Amino acid sequence: MLGTMKSRGVPVVPAVAAAAAIILFVFTAGQPAATAAIVEHTFIVSQVNMTRSCKETLVTVVNGQLPGPAIEVTEGDSLSVHVVNKSPYNITIHWHGVKQRLSCWADGVPMITQCPLRPNHNFTYRFDVAGQEGTLWWHAHVGCFRATLHGALIIRPRHGASSYPFPKPHVEIPMIIGEWWDMDLVQLERNMVDGDFRDNPTAMTINGQLGDPFNCSGIVKDGFVLDVEAGMTYLLRLINAALFTEFYLKIAGHKFTVVASDANYVNPYTTDTIAIAPGETMDVLVVANAPPGKYYMVAVALQTPKPDQQLPFFMTSGMVQYRSGHSHNNGTTGHHNVAPVVPELPDQHDTITTYYFHGNLTSLRHPRRPQVPVHADEYFFITLSDGSICRHGRQSCKRSGSNESMLVAAMNNVSFQLPATVAAPLLEAHYYHRNNTASIGGVDLYMLPNSPPRVFNFTDLSLVPSGPKEAQLEATKKRMVGRRFRHGTAVEVVFQNTALMQTGSHPMHLHGHDVFVLAQDHGIYDPAKDVAKYNLVDPPVKNTVVVPRLGWVALRFVADNPGLWYVHCHFDFHMIMGMDAVFIVDDGPTVASILPPPPDDLPNCNHGDNHASNELLYPHEGKGSVLQS
């Protein structure tokens, strides 16, 4: 057993916050030829000053780095990450896209799978990374801290890079696209919890660099530089870590070939524009086959066109720079007097390119490709919309932007909220009372309805912005909402986007499972004709699914991982506004399908021990009656 190799007590923290991983090799019993490793990391969460856009900002990061350290494992390894919280905030770390089979306790969702790690506390996340290959990532799951607490999680095939189902790249580089916030992330969260969504990021970043659109005080910012050698192939492991922003990425003079997304291989798809939404990852090959020189890469923030409310235009840039054949002693690359090639900028209001980009992904036939369920046992038709609740617990109130109500986000007009007082995380409450199907920890689980309360012309643009007609459509409930599934249930979900008050897309993310994306289209889903569009042959397998603007997406997954799994929109503001639910998956019939008990070092909640920081416990409603209906 790997477990016997692990220290169960207080994690051993190396004196130096070494970024390097410690890897122990263990021979798996019964399989003398195979080795599995325990990969160990120490994550020290602390606040450091960083200067961007000519301004010093206190940011919360892991091991002093932005982005945080990349974790690299081989499929089948066990990970052991010692998190030491030296920040003044409550923190959890989520391993985005890791299936966490039988290890829901390590999923890192505050008050859902664990109490957060309080300041000056440690916790070791221990779990296996099995049955997945490619790029995933880790991020804080508390409030808005994902903006600065994030990093890549790279899973290589067991038999090495030569077993990639695509030409072996010469170089592999994680590339994280994100946002830079000058503003305090705690304040940002507070504003959003309060229904105030006016804050904007300061800038966009590639691997933490702002790029030269942000040359304050006349000094050109470096931006992220990718040094390439002519003829070589680069594997970019793209991650969108932004809170609010879907991006288009382009490199002048070069094409991308997408080979994987969300740690699932796809049939190679060549394009000059990548679309990537918050939560998604894309593994793309870039061949340095252009004339040697300098080429801008640009990441442009998408936004929906009017009548949606308009934000400032945001983009960032980096550079692809060819090493010259003859070396220069000054260490530069020889093209310093050649102007960089600029790509044609993607249109920030283009919502069609991302639709086709995602529609063009198909899964690669591969020994690891999971089987698509040909039938579903349960069906959901879920509308995604903004909504409103009455403030101060009132039953009725004026809506449509009135002060009497506040804006929330919902699935089928139910908006998620945690119980106002919770002594233990929901998973723990559930675990010890698994026979009780109707409540968790004494709080009723509100059944996520299988369909919306009202049928209306969901994608009617005249629903933006809100007016008298919308007032009756937007009424929403705040509940601890979710569904419970028998182990092995094949679930079909059609997410229907709406135009209720705004028309953006939603990157919907399910924890603990991958999903098959069967079809998408614009307009309103009609089972009579749309089921025929389902791809049951090679649908892409994802953990984050972009529900297109003014359209729908159909997906299936098999609920076969016992535990309590968060499902939510990966736009942070929608997550905080309540476009979330919990999916509870029962234990299966065999010993190998039963959720083990919690690890004994799981943090406890101890409210009151550190009151100031408990207030920041997203999505804890510690602030009186505002969010209680």
Q: Does 566 bind Cu ion (CB under 5 A)?
A: no
- Which residue minimizes CB distance to ligand C2O? 96
Q: Contact with ligand C2O (CB under 6 A): which of 145, 566, 571, 618?
A: 566
CB of 430 to Cu ion, least distance (A): 26
- Please, which residue, 140 or 235, has the CB nearer to ligand C2O? 140
Contact 204, 179 (CB under 8 A): yes
Contact 557, 544 (CB under 8 A): no
CB of 139 to ligand C2O, least distance (A): 6
Q: Does 513 bind ligand C2O (CB under 6 A)?
A: no
Q: Contact with Cu ion (CB under 5 A): which of 534, 565, 571, 583?
A: 571
CB of 270 to ligand C2O, least distance (A): 28
Q: 501 by DSSP, 3-state: which?
A: coil
Q: Does 146 bind Cu ion (CB under 5 A)?
A: no
- Please, which residue, 132 or 503, has the CB nearer to ligand C2O? 132
* DSSP state letters, 297-343: EEEEE--PPTTSPPPPP-EEEEEEEEPPSS--TTSS-S-TTSPPB-P
Size of the site for Cu ion (CB under 5 A): 4
- Please, which residue, 126 or 511, has the CB nearer to Cu ion? 511
- Please, which residue, 52 or 568, has the CB nearer to ligand C2O? 568
Task: Name the residue among 383, 391, 384 with its Cα closest to residue 407.
Answer: 391
DSSP state of 111: T
CB count, 10 Å around CB of 592?
8
250: exposed, middle or buried (Cβ count in 10 Å: 0-12, 13-18, 19+)? buried
- Please, which residue, 52 or 511, has the CB nearer to ligand C2O? 511
CB of 417 to Cu ion, least distance (A): 17
Q: Considering CB distances under 5 to 8 angstroms, the limit depending on partner class, which of ligand C2O, Cu ion, none binds residue 263?
A: none
Q: How far apart are CA 504 and CA 549, in angstroms?
A: 5
Q: Give me the 68-107 binding string for ligand C2O, x by CB under 6 A, dash otherwise.
A: --------------------------x-x-----------
Give me the sign of the Cα torsion angle 179, 184, 189, 191: negative
Q: How far apart are CA 91 and CA 118, in angstroms?
A: 7
Q: Does 548 bind ligand C2O (CB under 6 A)?
A: no
Q: Considering CB distances under 5 to 8 angstroms, the limit depending on partner class, which of Cu ion, ligand C2O, none binds residue 254?
A: none
- Please, which residue, 273 or 543, has the CB nearer to ligand C2O? 543
Task: Name the residue among 319, 361, 477 with its Cα closest to residue 412.
Answer: 477
CB of 129 to Cu ion, least distance (A): 28
| Sheet with strand 274-276: strands edge to edge | 224-228, 315-322, 294-301, 247-251, 274-276
- Please, which residue, 556 or 568, has the CB nearer to ligand C2O? 568
In the range 247-306, which residues lie near ligand C2O by CB under 6 A?
Answer: 279
Residue 401, C-beta contacts closer than 8 angstroms, at least 6 positions apart = 465, 466
Q: Does 568 bind Cu ion (CB under 5 A)?
A: no
Q: Contact with ligand C2O (CB under 6 A): which of 221, 254, 509, 513?
A: 509
CB of 455 to ligand C2O, least distance (A): 30
Q: Does 358 bind ligand C2O (CB under 6 A)?
A: no
Contact 244, 506 (CB under 8 A): no
The pairing of beta strand 78-85 with beta strand 35-52: parallel
- Please, which residue, 260 or 409, has the CB nearer to Cu ion? 409
279: exposed, middle or buried (Cβ count in 10 Å: 0-12, 13-18, 19+)? buried
Q: How far apart are CA 353 and CA 332, in angstroms?
A: 37
**Given the rule CB under 5 A, which residues bind Cu ion?**
506, 569, 571, 574
**Given the rule CB under 6 A, which residues bind ligand C2O?**
94, 96, 139, 141, 279, 509, 511, 566, 568, 570
